[in-house]
Amino acid sequence: MMKTLWSRTSAAALVAILAASPVCAETSPAPMLTLAEAKSVAARAERAAAEKKVDVAIVIVNREGRVILSERMDGVSFVNLALAEKKAVTTAATGVPTSILEKATDGGKPSFLSVPEISVIGGAVPLLRGERVIGGIGISGGTTEDDEKIATAGAGS
């Protein structure tokens, strides 16, 4: 009984906090990555992968790290798909290419490794509209250099 009461009380408090937060009161909506845009990004990445003759997994997420589009080319493992998603989420959250995080970690700054559910492996770049991050594209299947070049091509950078 006490556990149920605590859960209801906690849930009510959380709802009240969220309702009063400035995020909910925002008047101008943040730019959003559309499905059509995600499809265009994926198509550019696919073309770049085909030019390099590298089969990859491609995952595109919105700024919250939620998957908008996910695909893997023929013969690509589900493991690559999972890694591409982690890369995409990481770049959307940090706003920097994952190769920068990889270099920082390799350079003796392993603090990023303490964050659960992120990837410090190169192969993802943020998707920007102006200066604002609207999502991320993660690629997995080639070398980290190839993955990042494919992601960059997908982003149109």
Write out the chain's pLDDT in tens, 157 residues: 444 444 444 444 434 444 444 444 445 577 899 999 999 999 999 999 999 999 999 999 999 999 999 999 999 999 999 999 999 999 999 999 999 999 999 888 888 788 888 899 999 999 999 999 999 999 999 999 999 999 999 999 7
Q: For the domain made up of 30-155, give the CATH fold.
A: Beta-Lactamase (3.30.450)
Q: Cα–Cα distance between 126 and 138 in angstroms, integer?
A: 9
Report the predicted TM-score, pTM, of the whole model to 2 decimal places: 0.80
